[in-house]
Amino acid sequence: MTEAMILNIVASDCPAELEDKFNRWYNEVHIPMLFLFKGLKKVTRYRLADESKDQAKYLALYQFESEKAITDFMTSQEFTAASEEMRETWKDGGLDIKWIAQYNPIKTWVK
């Protein structure tokens, strides 16, 4: 049985008029740049099911193979390059990161 992966979760928003640009950038530029880091195993993006001003509209779950992998990722060249590219792309605003959190697995159930 495979062990559960460490999660890094990013909640974000963008103005409605920039959603196409935001999603295209996230899917075609940002995620491919981050996947250059070998310890990042899976990324899943979500959109909020119901409109809510109290919740971030977008959620990205980054799954890492180990705690060491996520620690190494945060200081990696790949993360640095993706962060610099993100700051440049969104220097005029439009990307609003609401929160970021890391979670360690407790237990996984599979049916």
Please check whether residue 109 lies inside any domain of the structure.
no
Please check whether residue 26 lies inside any domain of the structure.
yes
Structural domain containing residue 65: 6-103
Gyration radius from the chain CA atoms: 15
8 A C-beta contact, residue 85 and residue 33: yes
8 A C-beta contact, residue 9 and residue 59: yes
> pLDDT tens digits for 35-52?
999 999 999 999 999 877
The CATH number of whichever domain residue 11 belongs to comes to 3.30.70.100
Total structural domains within the chain: 1
> pLDDT tens digits for 99-110?
999 999 998 888
Please check whether residue 53 lies inside any domain of the structure.
yes
- Please report the pLDDT score of residue 57 as a whole number: 95
- Please report the pLDDT score of residue 2 as a whole number: 53
Find, among 32, 39, 27, the residue nearest to 76 by Cα. 39
Is the whole model's pTM more than 0.85, yes or no?
yes
Please check whether residue 84 lies inside any domain of the structure.
yes
Please check whether residue 1 lies inside any domain of the structure.
no
